[in-house]
Amino acid sequence: MNHWGHKHVIDLSTFSIEDYSLVLTLANRFKKVPVTGAGRLPALQGKLITTLFFESSTRTRSSFEIAAKRLSADVQSFSANTSSLNKGESYLDTALTYVAMGADVLVVRHSSTNIPQKLASYLDNIGEKTSILNGGDGLHSHPSQGLLDLFTLANFFSPNDPSTESLKGKQVTIVGDILHSRVARSNLWSLTACGANVVLCGPPSLVPKEFIDFVKRPPSGQKLDPIKKRGTLKISRNLKQSLEDADAIMTLRLQKERMQENLLSSMETYHDEYGLTLEKLKWCKNKVPVLHPGPVNRGLEISGDILEDRSICLIEKQVSNGVPIRMALLYLLGNQ
């Protein structure tokens, strides 16, 4: 079918440029598939996709479920709040229960880093064929979000041919709570792989200087970086400077629930220095799009006037592009 060689999708650090191209090409085709009825594709007929979300989600979980249905898969949705986790069952035994029910792909979200990786290794060791698709783990990785952001930017820069090439040489400024963001980490791998130059902007408490080395070497346990030459990565403390040459801006939610100590003097100061407003977007040389993975703290990292300006704000497009991107991932994992 293609060169695809991943049984599981855990982290975009393992993606080659051919992997990105394949996912974008498939997503572009799936974008045109009708929502309901006979228009559904039979690609995953007879397959069972289980969304195993141990942490809350609106966008990711729902769009994986829509994506699976559009490919004619059976969908099993797990609700942590009403599950036997409340009786002390472990995440591993919970996952194995769904494997025993025949899940072909488990989409796993967990608040702890590396749970999807541990599950994947466990299943490989016992010879189970079930694939793990990371729906977001701790601070580590959110690969489907990184891919849908890439697809959204590729569509913005090159609507007729949204390929990896369309990102080459573009400056993407990512503003805000990088420290707690698995989305930012996944975007760092995907954007630099496609030749985009990334500027991370925020205070030292949320953008530690160590991030400068983030894509210099693959994570521990991974021998090689499949990308020969990545785009550059810089850190800026100055929002005005980091916006001047931006071709696109991504702002991130302040993850107050993950902030264990007082990392900011106040939310008001943060908003004044790093919160995006239409007024501050005038610092950009060109009219540039603004992305945000959601959910949003309206009026904190991004103002309501940007959210309401569809000529600038791509958030709705990110959400709708999540479906074809997740169709592409489920198609690739479900057809092995």
Residues that bind ligand CP (CB under 6 A): 57-60, 136, 145, 293-295
Compute the least distance from the CB of residue 149 to ligand CP, in Å. Answer: 9
Compute the least distance from the CB of residue 244 to ligand CP, in Å. Answer: 28
Compute the least distance from the CB of residue 138 to ligand CP, in Å. Answer: 13
Compute the least distance from the CB of residue 206 to ligand CP, in Å. Answer: 18
Compute the least distance from the CB of residue 184 to ligand CP, in Å. Answer: 12
Compute the least distance from the CB of residue 252 to ligand CP, in Å. Answer: 10
Nearest to 259 by CA among 300, 213, 291, 224: 300
Measured from the CB atom, the residue of 136 and 324 that comes closer to ligand CP is 136
151 in Cβ contact with 63 (< 8 Å) = no
328 in Cβ contact with 15 (< 8 Å) = no
Q: Report the alpha-carbon distance of residue 117 to residue 135 in Å, rounded.
A: 11
* Cα 335 off chain centre by: 22
Measured from the CB atom, the residue of 191 and 227 that comes closer to ligand CP is 191
DSSP 59: H
173 in Cβ contact with 289 (< 8 Å) = no
Compute the least distance from the CB of residue 87 to ligand CP, in Å. Answer: 26
- Give 49's strand partners: 75, 105
DSSP 85: G
Measured from the CB atom, the residue of 230 and 292 that comes closer to ligand CP is 292
Q: From residue 136, give the alpha-carbon distance in Å to each of 11, 61, 157.
A: 10, 10, 27
198 in Cβ contact with 234 (< 8 Å) = yes
Measured from the CB atom, the residue of 58 and 265 that comes closer to ligand CP is 58
If you count them, how many residues does the chain have? 336
Compute the least distance from the CB of residue 144 to ligand CP, in Å. Answer: 8
Instruction: Please give the structure tokens belonging to residue 89.
Output: 């069952």
Crossing angle between the packed helical segments 91-100 and 115-125, to the nearest 10 degrees = 50
Compute the least distance from the CB of residue 166 to ligand CP, in Å. Answer: 22
Measured from the CB atom, the residue of 60 and 166 that comes closer to ligand CP is 60
Measured from the CB atom, the residue of 131 and 145 that comes closer to ligand CP is 145
Measured from the CB atom, the residue of 207 and 252 that comes closer to ligand CP is 252
Measured from the CB atom, the residue of 19 and 149 that comes closer to ligand CP is 149
Measured from the CB atom, the residue of 235 and 291 that comes closer to ligand CP is 291
Q: Report the alpha-carbon distance of residue 141 to residue 126 in Å, rounded.
A: 25
193 in Cβ contact with 172 (< 8 Å) = no
The string of DSSP letters for 118-140 reads HHHHHHHHTT---EEEEEEETTT
The string of DSSP letters for 3-30 reads S---S-B--GGG--HHHHHHHHHHHHHH
